[in-house]
Amino acid sequence: MPQSLSAVYLHAVFSTKERRPFLRNPGLRASLHDYLGGISKNLQCAPLRIGGVEDHVHILARLGRTITQSEWVKELKRGSNLWLKEQTAPPTPPDRPSAPLSQFAWQNGYACFSVSVSNLPSVAAYIDAQAEHHRKTTFQAELRALLKKHGETWDEKHLWD
């Protein structure tokens, strides 16, 4: 076959360091999601959906043919980390202060799951419903459920940082 073709879809999830609420402001969070989409697109990994809440993000994308999953996530985190540290934090209500963006960091690890073409709509809807979902559950419970659903085993002492 003279042409190389690939249709690999991934759902990546990663948190802010120590799950600190750096992304509390909806405008900043939306700008971050747009920025992550731009990074992914520049890496030839077409973003399909990006969402999340104050302490983590979900990214659904089609992985490009010339990049590994770990390189993709590394560049998403590296580029967005630098960008966030340059941003001016929007004001937040006194009862819900955000952490200073100069201290921003992503957690060291990530979770990444394969997604079949037939499940793309349901994963996209899941990402779109993050705000509602997290009124009922924590990021930790969500990640454990995703890992269990995908048959992953994990060590709690190495899952969180």
In this predicted structure, the answer to whether residue 93 has a pLDDT above a threshold of 80 is: no
2 is a domain residue: no
Number of domain units in the chain: 1
Residue 97: the pLDDT is 60
Q: What is the pLDDT of residues 116-130, one digit of tens each?
A: 999 999 999 999 999
- The structure tokens 């520049």 sit at 42
Q: Is residue 128 part of a domain?
A: yes
Identify the CA nearest to 143 among candidates 125, 160, 120, 119: 160
Euclidean distance between CA atoms 156 and 158, whole angstroms: 5
103-119: pLDDT as tens digits: 899 999 999 999 999 99
Residue 61 token pair: 């994308």
Residue 15 included in any domain: yes
CATH of the domain at 59: 3.30.70.1290
Asked if residue 122 belongs to a domain, the reply is yes
Domain carrying residue 131: 8-159
Residue 21 within a domain:
yes
- Radius of gyration (Cα) for the chain, nearest Å? 16
Q: Is the pLDDT of residue 149 over 80?
A: yes
Q: What is the total residue count of the chain?
A: 161
Answer yes or no: is 95 within a domain. yes
Say if 1 falls within a structural domain.
no
What pLDDT does 29 receive?
94
Residue 51 domain flag: yes
